[in-house]
A and B are shown apart, each in its own frame.
Chain A
Amino acid sequence: MSASGSIGGTARREPHTPESTIGRKPDYLHAESTLRSWFLTTDHKRIALLYLASITGFFVIGAVAAGVVRLALIVPNGAIMTNDTYNKAFTIHGVVMVWFFLIPSIPATFGNFLIPLMIGAKDLAFPKLNLTSWYVFMAGALFTLVSVVLGGVDTGWTFYAPLSTAFSNTWVLPALIGVTIVGFSSILTGLNFVVTIHTMRAPGMTWFKLPIFVWAHYATSLIFLLATPVITTALILLIAERAFHIGVFDPAYGGDPVLFQHLFWFYSHPAVYIMVLPGMGVISEIVPAFAQKKLFGYRFVAYASIGLASVTFFVWGHHMFVNGQSDLASLVFSALSFAVAVPSAVKVYNWTATIHKGALRLDTPMLYAMGYIGLFVLGGLTGLYLATLAINQHIHATYFVVAHFHYIMVGGTVLAFLGGLHFWWPKFTGRMYSEPWGRVSALLIFLGFNVTFFPQFILGYLGMPRRYATYPAEFQLLNVLSSAGATILAAGYLFPMLYLVYSLWFGRKAPANPWNAKGLEWETSSPPPTHNFLSPPEVPRIPYDYPIQAQESRDQHG
């Protein structure tokens, strides 16, 4: 296949079968076609698609709930729905988006699909465990959704005690049990990745030839393994307190509510990096491919992934600045929180330096990646405001926080997710999507996102608290603007769902490497055969062996 003819999608519109696909064995999608072969598969690529379908469903549920919240906030006096309905809507939005979309999104789909391909393995180390983790995930998620059907939960996604254990009379228990079960799925996925990356690398695939995507997933998996058990403990204690009055958090039973926050945030702060690190991995693959340039400072980006994963365990206390922890603790947590900026900035500088003087192509995945970088920088910088003790007193629990974590978690995860989805779509499905529509969707989402969330920074700074169904009338203009942005954002999300599904049947057949990208996953056919490679892949001399090399490496090699 020629690289030039297949880039961009506008050059050739007619169906085209690449020569490499003629007369070969059926790929993983067509190897078997019964339902049984999908639901009992141990092929990591099929399991990735099972995850992709399920988390897309959860994303839609979470997005509809977000729409309800934004609808309620169009008017200041709460006239559209009752406070109770509003509380349940933002809880569904938070629970579903955080636990069932953002955390599993990139690792469970792209990680599952790509890690074995990228390291030249036939599968993950434990294929049956991989399938088990999907069933565990679905069981837990459906358990939680039962609570929504039966009447909803109004505690917010954080389940703060003692509201969740003693005062809320909604369906908290099934929601808690479901989230606890989903945690085990995370642990199993992380365990599988760690073992796979350690033991299944192809001969010659050393640690410093691994793509950053794999490094990022390695760091993420360490967080899965080291943080998730602690939230499991916290949730088990919540369940024990709510169901059997075994008091641990409720002062009425001799417990300590701040203890819950310690246990909760010891997981839930690292969880932010479970969401963001895999996204950084995706961006680190897309940027060099669309600049046709070696990733700048490869080793630093790899170290920064591990650095972020380490620092994130020591900053949970910044969620408790105004909750009665000691001033010394707050001071230490504030200083440590600033340290997060260092590895984050390393990554952003490296992407920027990679783009600099590259042969830039602004195709859909690259548009998403650049949008990601912009949103991540804004989200990261506002994080410094929140980590500053004095400013935190003013903006704590306001819409400033809401805007900040949406910039990080949605800007950082959803844009990377969509960018990755477009980048690897040809590899997943063997089909190309419509490039013009892809670009429209990327631009709409970037525009809609900023219109939705930027006004919330101002609202928060002016003093609008989060999680309230009503607000003073002078905040209405900015709230209406935010809700209008959410409409644009919803339209932006709708486009990929339509043209990607359309491409499954009518898209042009994809060549093995439509982007002229490097990495072992592009060496095999699109879609790959069942055991990933027909012949053992050849490990490249250096990672990101793109035609354009940075000035530093030219200097080094004379």
Chain B
Amino acid sequence: MSERLADGVGVARAEHFESVAQQREAATLGIWAWLITELLLFSALFLVALITRIQHPEATVAAAKHLKFWIGATNTVVLICSSLTMSMAIEFSRMGWQRAMVRAMLATAALGGLFLVLKGYEYYADWDEHMMPFLSNRPFALAETPAARLFVNLYYVATLLHALHLFTGIALLLGMTWMAAKAGFLARHQNWIEVYGLYWHFIDLVWILAFPILYVVNR
């Protein structure tokens, strides 16, 4: 990785590391370990959703058909595009093109924001269709099927948890963009961009798992 970096781009060694290579290795391993825990956090929910489908196929499909397929599909495209812009930001950071990197990061944050807006609209449509079983003032549309209710509840917990990650991710990204716009950032903290990029791709990956499991299977 290091030989691809442009002049004036690199990492300042922290006191407790023996070398920059060691520091980079620690940062990369650290973020991968964290992402594995994050994946497990979601996978418990996805696993339960899949088991619910296997045990109660009819009720689950009835509920899944109420999910807004086209909003979910559009959001998938939006997130894949944001992963592309994030990858571009990483590549620009390696080449030392700070301005282009900052723009790519802002584009990534904007696409993330677009996802949240679309998701918000989807929740509104769910509310309108009486598809929120936990609201006692709006009776659930599929009242007679408990499994449908369980599936829809899992859908809300999983997508809200994902949205929370995305929201946190956008906040971190904007904070980092603000720092990364300053002169000399790339000479000291280039690996922050690399490490953050992995986190962003992970948010994308979770959605790419959630979309088929919740929206597409048996449709």
Residues of B within 8 A of A240 (CB): 153, 157
Q: Would A191 and B48 count as touching, CB distance under 8 A?
A: no
Q: Would A247 and B150 count as touching, CB distance under 8 A?
A: yes
Q: Would B29 and A198 count as touching, CB distance under 8 A?
A: yes
Q: How far, in Å, is B36 (CB) from chain A's closest CB?
A: 6
B154 contacts partner chain A, Cβ-Cβ < 8 Å: yes
Q: Would A199 and B22 count as touching, CB distance under 8 A?
A: yes
Q: A199 and B150 in contact (CB under 8 A), knowing A229-B37, A253-B133?
A: no
- Interface positions, chain B 109-158, Cβ under 8 Å from A, are 133-134, 136, 146-150, 153-154, 156-157
Q: A195 and B26 in contact (CB under 8 A), knowing A229-B44, A247-B150?
A: yes
Q: Would B26 and A199 count as touching, CB distance under 8 A?
A: yes
A71 contacts partner chain B, Cβ-Cβ < 8 Å: no
Q: How far, in Å, is A252 (CB) from chain B's closest CB?
A: 9
A50 contacts partner chain B, Cβ-Cβ < 8 Å: no
Q: Would B153 and A225 count as touching, CB distance under 8 A?
A: no
Residues of B within 8 A of A255 (CB): 150, 153
CA distance A213 to B38 in the complex (A): 27
Residue among B29, B39, B136, B156 with most chain A CB within 10 A: B29
B217 contacts partner chain A, Cβ-Cβ < 8 Å: no
Residues of B within 8 A of A122 (CB): 15-16
B3 contacts partner chain A, Cβ-Cβ < 8 Å: no
Closest to A228 in B: B37
Residues of A within 8 A of B38 (CB): 229
Residues of A within 8 A of B17 (CB): 200
Q: A230 and B44 in contact (CB under 8 A), knowing A195-B29, A195-B33?
A: yes
Residue among B34, B37, B150, B161 with most chain A CB within 10 A: B37
CA distance A123 to B23 in the complex (A): 12
Q: Would A531 and B150 count as touching, CB distance under 8 A?
A: no
Q: Would B37 and A233 count as touching, CB distance under 8 A?
A: no
CA distance A114 to B110 in the complex (A): 45
Q: A247 and B44 in contact (CB under 8 A), knowing A125-B30, A195-B33, A226-B36?
A: no
Q: How far, in Å, is B66 (CB) from chain A's closest CB?
A: 15
Residues of A within 8 A of B15 (CB): 122, 531
CA distance A123 to B25 in the complex (A): 15
A59 contacts partner chain B, Cβ-Cβ < 8 Å: no
Q: How far, in Å, is B163 (CB) from chain A's closest CB?
A: 14
CA distance A226 to B42 in the complex (A): 12
CA distance A266 to B150 in the complex (A): 21
B81-108 to A contact mask, C-beta < 8 Å, 1/0: 0000000000000000000000000000
CA distance A240 to B155 in the complex (A): 13
Q: A248 and B30 in contact (CB under 8 A), knowing A127-B16, A234-B44?
A: no
Q: Would B26 and A254 count as touching, CB distance under 8 A?
A: no
Q: Would A259 and B146 count as touching, CB distance under 8 A?
A: no
CA distance A259 to B51 in the complex (A): 11
CA distance A251 to B146 in the complex (A): 8
- Interface positions, chain A 510-533, Cβ under 8 Å from B, are 531
CA distance A240 to B45 in the complex (A): 13
User: Assuming A246-B156, A531-B15, what are 17 further A-B pairs, CB within 8 angstroms?
Assistant: A126-B26, A191-B33, A198-B26, A226-B36, A229-B39, A237-B157, A240-B153, A246-B134, A247-B133, A247-B149, A253-B133, A254-B133, A254-B148, A254-B150, A255-B150, A255-B153, A263-B44
Chain B residues within CB distance 8 Å of chain A: 15-17, 22, 25-26, 29-30, 33-34, 36-42, 44-45, 48, 133-134, 136, 146-150, 153-154, 156-157, 161
Which 7 residue pairs across A and B have the least CB separation, nearest first? A254-B146, A254-B149, A229-B40, A123-B16, A233-B44, A229-B41, A125-B26
